Amino acid sequence: MIPFSVLIAISLALIALLLVESVLYLARTGWYYRLGPALHAERWQTEVSLDAARAAVRDAMPLAKLSYREDDRGFCLRRHWAAMSAWPRISLRVEPGPDGAMLAYEVRPFITMAAFVPVFVVAAASGIMLAFFTVNIAVIAGIYLVFWPLELRTFGRLARLHDALAPIGVHVCRACGYDLFRQPRGQACPECGRHAPP
Ligand SMILES: [Zn+2]
């Protein structure tokens, strides 16, 4: 049984972390946007240099309709701060690949919210405000399990952005995100079998 005062202290520490994470999120801080395992990742091969790939992404960026910041490793994107959102972090890294620059599209979830779950579980198990903590656990689980996949679909895997990058060689399956670099357009995707529009 954990004393109530300890639970309060842990909760306050998490609230402080939540505020720090919110600031890093809103500022589109590069290291934070690339921190932790990605829940969704794709590789888009290009046939141009790092600088040319960056310039092409920069030009196409308005199509993504997301707020972005560019730094030395690539681009950090998020939805408008006021959008109904679980605050996913999108990173589009520009790095050297086998045939030219490679664009690594990765989406990561907001972290601190999940860290509240074990604290709430302990609190509920200790019988402290059982109903309140149970409801909160359900809400957080719902955000990650239901809202998160919906949110990923909202980005549409930045489809309009990678379509606009066709001139630099980007060719990604519209259905599953498989990299179809240098494969003839209009053919079925070897990964999911769907036909892309020519
Ligand atoms: Zn596919």
When the pLDDT of each residue in the chain is averaged and rounded to a whole number, the result is: 90
Ranked by mean pLDDT, which of 2-11, 24-33, 112-121 comes out on top? 24-33
Q: How far is the CA of 158 from the centre of ligand 1 (A)?
A: 15
182 CA → ligand 1 middle, Å: 15
* CB neighbour class for 131 (10 Å; exposed up to 12, middle 13-18, buried from 19): exposed
Q: Taking residues 21-48, report their average pLDDT.
A: 95
User: How far, in Å, is the centroid of ligand 1 from the Cα of 67?
Assistant: 27
CA 115 to chain centre: 18
Distance between Cα 133 and ligand 1 center (Å)? 41
Distance 198 CA to ligand 1 centre (A): 14
| pLDDT, tens digit, 9 for 90 and up, residues 42-62 | 999 999 999 999 999 999 999
Report how far ligand 1's centroid is from the alpha carbon of 5 (Å): 52
What is the pLDDT, as a whole number, of residue 186? 84
Evaluate whether 95 touches 46 at the Cβ level (below 8 Å): no
For the segment 21-34, the average pLDDT, to the nearest whole number, is: 97
Instruction: Provide the 10 A C-beta neighbour count for residue 164.
Output: 19
Give the residue from 169, 176, 181 showing the smallest Cα distance to 194.
176
Structure tokens at 69: 């910041």
pTM to 2 decimal places:
0.87
Residue 117 has pLDDT above 60, yes or no: yes
Q: What is the mean pLDDT of residues 16-36?
A: 96
For residue 91, pLDDT beyond 70: yes
State in Å: Cα 43 to ligand 1 middle.
13
